[in-house]
Chain A
Amino acid sequence: MSEKQTTNESRRGFVAGGVAAAAGLAIAPGVTLLDMAHARPENEAASGKNRWGLLIDTTKCKTGCTDCVTACFTENGVKQGDKETDPQWIRKVELKDLHSNKTASLPMMCQHCAHPPCVDVCPTGASFKRVDGIVLVDRHICIGCRYCMMACPYKARSFVHEPLTDQNPDVPRGMGCVEACTLCVHKIDRGDNNTACAEACKEGAILFGDLNDPESEIAKRVATYASTQVRADLGLNTGVRYQGI
């Protein structure tokens, strides 16, 4: 079935459509909104040419700072609770090397593996990897069995135990399903070309980008500087990389 185009001026999509058409246009002589060149038309599927990821510079990440966590929770409508069972899409982790006493602070979230164990174990096909590398839970299919939570080496997934109300319209969530960082898929799809956590980090410790695009800042940095995949021994080829650990 092909979706017919409606011409109703009251639809917000009208504006979005105009943007897609305007992608890459010059606003004034010599001034181009480079950001817009990345916006994919809304009727175009995500592409396997991209691999979205994050590069996190732990030397810039401040101990005790939780700006990325707060921004993620605000963007995705996750209430910051005090129960151990409350959903947690991203968390701060403090590391200490017992020999040198060197410490590091870093945000830990879904690592968007190229070979995700959560997808391997899912009995219904709800856990899946989008062609552009984003690992998601299709909550229309999720039965809440939580195998994926057991399989994830990063403890990145949460189960929603309580009924929810007042969700963010862009981010549906509800009781009985597993959820995790979506790499702000709703923002990527509308062409923001950034995640809430990366936007919020005042230290610039989180860089979002396309690991497959050799011209992107993230790919250049991964090619130039040493970076680490957490639990690289598992061979999962994570989309989230760390520097300085």
Chain B
Amino acid sequence: MGIPTIKTMGTWLASLAVVLAVGASSLAVADGGAKSPREAMLEGVKGDKCVAPTDDMRRNHMKYLKHHRDETMHQGIRTQQFSLKGCVECHASPKNNSVVGTNQNFCQGCHAYTGVKLDCFECHATKPKATAAFHPIAGQTGGLAANMRKEMGSAQSNVAGAAQ
């Protein structure tokens, strides 16, 4: 099997199946400099790995999201791993600071191709939370206690780091 030149989403998904089958870890394919659809969608992604193994995320992200959603909504469990807010923070494209909007955007790109309607973003913010540095009112809404806690948190993790 030769390595295919990926130009279209179609070949991308076709090769995705192959890659999943053989368990290879990367889909990056040389294409004379042009970006594959997958590379375009993942451009500017934060960090170097997802919140679970990549192949697992491809197959099961919807289950994880819905499980976490119910836990948060009804029990107030606020773990970060499968938080939808978290997906947006890492996967927002640097082009429009969003996970949707164009077919190069992470969530919309793959969902448009696979024809799966994604209604989450009718309610959920499509952009990461503006930080204090960018957003003029962010400092006000955070509240004194929250800001103190943030500072305490980093102070404490520094202490913890020093102690180790």
Contacts and interface: CB of A to CB of B under 8 A. Distances in A.
Nearest to A128: B74
A199 B76 contact: no
Given A8-B49, A13-B86, A173-B123, A18 B156 contact: yes
A78 to B, nearest CB: 13
Interface in B61-76: 64, 67-71, 73-76
Contacts of B148: 33, 35
Scoring B51, B89, B148, B156 by chain A CB atoms within 10 A of each residue's CB, the highest score goes to: B156
A168 B157 CA distance: 28
A75 interface: yes
Contacts of A15: 150, 153-154, 157
A39 B149 contact: yes
Interface string A187-210: 111111110100100000000000
Nearest to B73: A138
Given A170-B129, A192-B143, A13 B122 contact: no
Interface string B38-80: 0000000011010110000000000010011111011111111
Interface residues of B, number: 49
B145 A132 contact: no
A42 interface: yes
A11 B86 contact: yes
Given A19-B149, A191-B149, 13 more contacts: A10-B90, A13-B81, A13-B83, A18-B157, A19-B152, A136-B73, A138-B73, A167-B123, A169-B125, A172-B124, A174-B122, A177-B123, A190-B78
Interface string B101-132: 00000000000000000000011110111000
Given A4-B81, A193-B145, A185 B152 contact: no
A11 B69 CA distance: 19
Contacts of A128: 74
A82 interface: no
B164 interface: no
A232 interface: no
Contact of A75 (B67, B141, B145, B156): B141
B118 to A, nearest CB: 13
A15 B153 CA distance: 5
B145 A194 contact: yes
A74 B76 contact: no
Nearest to A46: B76
B85 interface: yes
